Structure 1
Amino acid sequence: MSLPVSLPATYAPTGVFVCFEGGEGSGKSTQARLLSQRLAEQGFAVLLTFEPGDTAVGKELRRIVLSPETGELSHRTEALLYAADKAEHVERVVVPALARGAVVVTDRYVDSTLAYQGAGRAIDVTELEQVARWATSGLRPHLTVVLDVDPATGLGRAGDLDRIEVEPLEFHQRVREYFLDLAAADPDHYLVLPADGEADKLHEAIRTGVEPWLGQAARA
C-alpha cells in the first residue's frame, strides 16, 4: 500500500510532542512510562497520555472500538470513531499541555489509524489521512518512536485479546510494514528501534533520540 499524499504538517512551537507507535506487544506503554518518569526526574514538565481513551468521551469510544462485545463494525465507522477520539484528545489534552511547554508523551496517535485502519483494514489511506489530520488540526509529533517487533512475537506477549488484536497475523504484518514505511519517509521525525532487546537499553536509546528536542520544553 502506498503512503498517503503529504498534507501540511503543524509542529507545536512550544513544548515537545513525543509519540510511541508500534504493533501489539512492542512495549510502547512501558517505554512511554519510563521516558516520562526519566524526564520528570530531570525537572521537565511532563504529561503521559494515550489513545484511544484518555478523555471522558474517549473512554467510551475506546470501549466501543476495542471490546469484543461490539462485534463487527464497518471499517469506515471504526476509523471515524478513532478520529473522534483523536479530535477530543488533541483539543482537551495535548494542545493545552504543549501550550504550557510540557513534554507530551503519547502512546499511539495518527500513525496508528493510518496503519491499522488504512493498511490493516485496506481503507484508502489518502482519504483516511485527510480525516485524521482534520481531526487533529494537522498537529504532528516532533518525534515518533516506532518500536518494531515481529507480529507473531508481539501477539504472543498479549493476554486477553481485544477486537483489533484478534485479527489474523496477515493483518498485523501489514500494520508493521506500514509503520516502517511511514518512518522511512520522514527520518527527521522518526526513530525506529527493535523492541526485542533489553528494556533498559531501549530506554536509553529513546532518551538519546528525544534529547535534541528538549530545548523547547519547560521545566516543572
Structure 2
Amino acid sequence: MFISLEGIDGSGKSTQARMLADALRAEGREVVLTREPGGSPGAEEIRHLLVDGRADRWSAETELLLFTAARRDHLERTVRPALDRGAWVVTDRFADSTRVYQGATRGDLRGRVDALHRLMIGVEPDRTLVIDLDPAEALARTTRRHAAPATAAPEDRFETMGLPFQTRLRAGFAALASAHPDRIRLIDGRGSAEDVAARVRAAL
C-alpha cells in the first residue's frame, strides 16, 4: 500500500507516520518511510528552498512549481521503486498538501494544482490519513518544540504565517476528506500519540 499522512503544522502527522511504519515493520512488511517535500536527494535540496526563510519568500505559484518538481523526483527515485518491489510506502505529506496549501489557502490555484498533478505525477495514495487537530493546540506544540534547547533550527516558514492561516488549512483538509471519502480519512489528533496511532490503524 501507498499511505500518506496529512494535516496542519504541529498536528502530529510526522510522529504518526513513524509509528505506523514501525508497526508495519513489526508485522514483517518492508516499509519505506519518507516525506515531502523531500524523500530523495534532489527533492531534499528543493525542500530547503521551500521551508526555510521568510514567509513572503515565494509566491504561491512559484511554490506550486517547486513542490511539483520535488514530488516528481520523489516519485521517480523513492516511491515507485519501493512499490514496484512490493514494499509499503508511508509518506509524511503528498499531493493533498499542495492542494490545500497552494491550491486553496495561498491562492486560488486549485485548477493549476490539479492540472500539474495530472501531467507530472498521476498517482494518488491508496489511503490518506489526515490528522485533525485544533490549530491553536497545534501551533502551541510547534512553539514548544522550537523552544527546546536540543531542537535544530526550525523549518518554520509556513508556521510563521500564523493562526488564521493554519485555521484555513484545517478547513481545506476537512473539505478534501469530505470530497474524497473513498481515499481520505479524518483522524482525531487529540490525546496521546498511542491513542492517535490506534485510530490510524483502525482507519486502515
RMSD: 1.5
Inter-partner Cα distance in structure 2 for 1:57 and 1:98:
20
Alignment-derived partner of residue 57 in structure 1: 42
**Normalising to structure 1: TM-score of the pair?**
0.84
Does residue 126 of structure 1 match 2:111? yes
Alignment-derived partner of residue 18 in structure 2: 33
Aligned pairs for 1:1-220 (under 5 A) are: 16-68=1-53, 72-136=57-121, 138-158=122-142, 159=146, 160=154, 162-210=156-204
Cα pair 1:22 1:176 within 8 Å, conserved:
yes
Q: How many residues align?
A: 194
4+ long deviations beyond 2 Å? 132-135
SS of the equivalent of 1:157 reads helix
Deviation, 1:153, is 1.2
Cα pair 1:120 1:172 within 8 Å, conserved:
no
Inter-partner Cα distance in structure 1 for 2:129 and 2:55:
31
SS of the equivalent of 1:104 reads strand
Inter-partner Cα distance in structure 1 for 2:76 and 2:49:
21
Q: Mind listing any 5+ residue stretches in structure 2 that lack a counterpart?
A: 147-153
SS of the equivalent of 1:61 reads helix
Deviation, 1:109, is 0.3
Inter-partner Cα distance in structure 1 for 2:166 and 2:107:
12
Amino acid at match of 1:139: V
Write the deviation string for residues 78-100 of structure 1: whole angstroms up to 9, x where unpaired: 11101100000011100111111
Write the deviation string for residues 111-142 of structure 1: whole angstroms up to 9, x where unpaired: 00011111120232112211133221x11011
Write the deviation string for residues 50-105 of structure 1: whole angstroms up to 9, x where unpaired: 00122111111111111116852122111110110000001110011111111100
Inter-partner Cα distance in structure 1 for 2:92 and 2:180:
19
Identical positions, percent: 41
Inter-partner Cα distance in structure 2 for 1:100 and 1:83:
24
Q: Mind listing any 5+ residue stretches in structure 1 that lack a counterpart?
A: 1-15, 211-220
* Higher RCO (Cα < 8 Å, 6 or more apart): 1
SS of the equivalent of 1:197 reads coil
Cα pair 2:52 2:155 within 8 Å, conserved:
no
